[in-house]
Structure formats: structure tokens, C-alpha cells
Amino acid sequence: MPVILFDIDGTLVRTGGAGKAAMEAALAEEFSVALRAEEVPYSGRTDRAISADLLLAHDLDPSPANVARLIDAYLDRLPSALQQFGGVICPGISELVAELHPRDDVVLGLLTGNVRRGAAHKLGHYGLWDYFPFGGFGDDHAERDDVARSALAAARNHATDVDPADVWVIGDTPLDVKCARAIGAKAVAVATGWHPLDELQRTGADYVFADLSDPGELLARWT
């Protein structure tokens, strides 16, 4: 049975920068620091890793307590940021998940660097949260490969006889492809995030698409 694990940011939705804005506002207000121009990478990374790097970049201790404090402050600000920044569901996603969700021969889940509450805020804002009954989240791991292992374990708790060869990871970054390989899954790269099509084609993903508006090739594999 195919198990299809979706990334969130740049794959299911684009929040228009709401997540980054909420995180940076949380840092500035919770820790009373002036934001620096130094850029911390967000794409494909976990909330824990991003939070630790933001603290380091502002000469703050990236202790577990401070990381948790920053993430809690971020989650407090995320719903209003989502309202403010708008954002969109990525092309083809609404139709794809609505088609797959009722089927009893396919399992849908999440594989995301977002902490679970952040994932719920983002997908709830766009009406997608209820399509995904389980997932691997960034609550307990800083590295995405470890989140992938958690997602695989969650899939095995949700469905019987889950073979990694039947698991599909769909994401918009090279790190999504890398974490798929870490669990022996197939990788689908989609250029609806911040990485161009030609870069994703060099990742060795099994499939690469500009977007998922015409997923017929994938649907044929999931029958």
C-alpha cells in the first residue's frame, strides 16, 4: 500500500513569509534583541534547527530551554501572521489530497520540519489539516533525516505492513530528497517552493515536477 508523506512549506502551501515573520518577531520580542541582517536558512529545515541558529546568530544561548521558549513565542504569533500574509495552497494540492484521502488503498501523512502545533496552524488556516492523520514533525528532532524516521514509525503505527519501498516523500527541497533516501523511500521533488526545477532535477529524485497540477503519472503508480 502506498504511503505518501507530504512536506508542508513550499509543497502543500506557501504562507507568503508568515512563518519567518512570526519566528523573527518572536525572537525580537521574547529575547529583547534587535534583528540582524545575517540570514539564517529556513528552507527544508526543522523549527528546532532554525531556532537554534537564530539564537546563535544573535549571541544567545541555543539551549533546549531557549529553543523551546522561542518556538512557543513563535507559535503564539503564527496564527495572526498567517492571517496577515495570506499565502496560497500550491497548485494541484487541493484536488490531489481530496482525491487520495477517501481511498482505502493509499495512506496520507506528513513529513515536515514544522513542530506539530505549527503544522496544525498552517494547514488548518488553509483547510488541509484534516487530510493528514499522522506525521513526522520537528518537535523532537533537529535533523530532517531523523524526522523522516519518525514519520516512517508513525506510518507503521497507522497502517500495517508498511514497506519503505512503498513510501513516497513529496517535497520542494534537496533536503526532502535526502531524507527520503535516509528511510529507503521514493522521492518526488516539486518546484513550488524556493528551489528551481533544474536544481531539483540534479538531486536524483525519482520524479521531478514543476507543480502537482497534473499528477497523472503519480496517480498511476498509486493504484
Cα(190)–Cα(101) distance, integer angstroms: 20
pLDDT at site 161: 86
pLDDT at site 1: 87
Q: Confidence band (pLDDT; 50, 70, 90) for 36? A: confident
Residue 135, beta-bridge partner list = 110
Q: Model-level pTM?
A: 0.94
pLDDT of residue 37 exceeding 80:
no
Q: Which of 31-45, 50-64, 81-95, 155-169 has the lowest mean pLDDT?
A: 31-45
Query: Does the domain at residues 3-15+87-221 carry the CATH identifier 3.40.50.1000?
Result: yes
pLDDT at site 174: 95
pLDDT at site 217: 87
pLDDT of residue 138 exceeding 80:
yes
pLDDT at site 39: 80
Task: Using CA atoms of 10, 79, 55, 34 in order, give the dihedral in degrees to the nearest 10.
Answer: 110
Cα(142)–Cα(117) distance, integer angstroms: 16
Q: Confidence band (pLDDT; 50, 70, 90) for 191? A: very high
Q: Confidence band (pLDDT; 50, 70, 90) for 43? A: confident
